Homo-oligomer: A and B are copies of this chain.
Amino acid sequence: MSQTLHLIPVSLGESPITRWLPADVQKTAAALDYYIAENAKTARAFLKLIGTDKPIQDITIHALSRNTDVAQIRQWLKQAPANENIGLVSEAGCPAVADPGALVVQTAHEMGIRVAPWTGPSSIILGLMASGLNGQNFVFHGYAPVAPAERAQQLRTWEVASRKSRQTQIFIETPYRNDAMFETLIKSLSGQTRLCVARALTTDNERIQTHSITEWKKRPTPDLQKQPTLFLFQA
């Protein structure tokens, strides 16, 4: 029980670090020499930003992918020098949320390694806070299906669930498909359903708008092209 796996949030986009990271998290992350990262390149950019105690080339970074198996993760955790703590970072936001990091955390629990979650930006929570939609009952689905008919069907199923228990439905989309997603939402959901589009959270391009589907139909289409966007609705 001498080691700790530190769960270190990273930025959601271009934004001054004092806007989204508490000072102690920066200090903790800067002192770690051994990382598991969703993306080694963005991890290095983060380490450069926070200013590590050691030169970055002396810091071990193992890159995690959707296909990394438990045996590999166990080996990484075992290989960490006994006197060194381990960091886990995602490509954006909080590790182990909307990314494959949960398997690392699960493995750490199984090996008796202490897990320490740190505060940082979560697009899901920031979007939910700012949406004005129900924050007392909500679900995050990850991605919606891509095929058009299946997608429209899934959105309507989520709308029924939302109506039944005043539950906010939250999901993400690959940025280049944002416009198609917005169009499908406008076409598929009921007029009174409130839809929030939360774009580029924490950056200078941040824009959060909530309107009923009926109101959205009268308004200009939001500019979401190539920008990370969270979609939320409540029937």
Query: Which A residues are closer than 8 A to B by beta carbons?
Result: 7, 16, 18-25, 94-99, 101-103, 105-109, 115-117, 119-122, 124-142, 167, 201-202, 206, 208-211
Contact = CB atoms under 8 A, between A and B. Distances in A.
A122 to B, nearest CB: 5
Contact of A22 (B20, B106, B126, B128): B20
A140 B138 contact: yes
B96 A128 contact: yes
Main secondary structure of the interface of A (DSSP, over half): mixed
B106 A125 contact: no
A149 to B, nearest CB: 20
A210 B18 contact: no
28 contacts: A7-B129, A16-B24, A18-B23, A18-B24, A19-B25, A20-B22, A23-B23, A96-B128, A96-B135, A97-B125, A102-B133, A102-B134, A103-B132, A106-B132, A107-B132, A109-B132, A115-B130, A117-B126, A117-B130, A119-B119, A119-B126, A119-B202, A122-B125, A125-B125, A137-B140, A137-B141, A138-B139, A139-B140
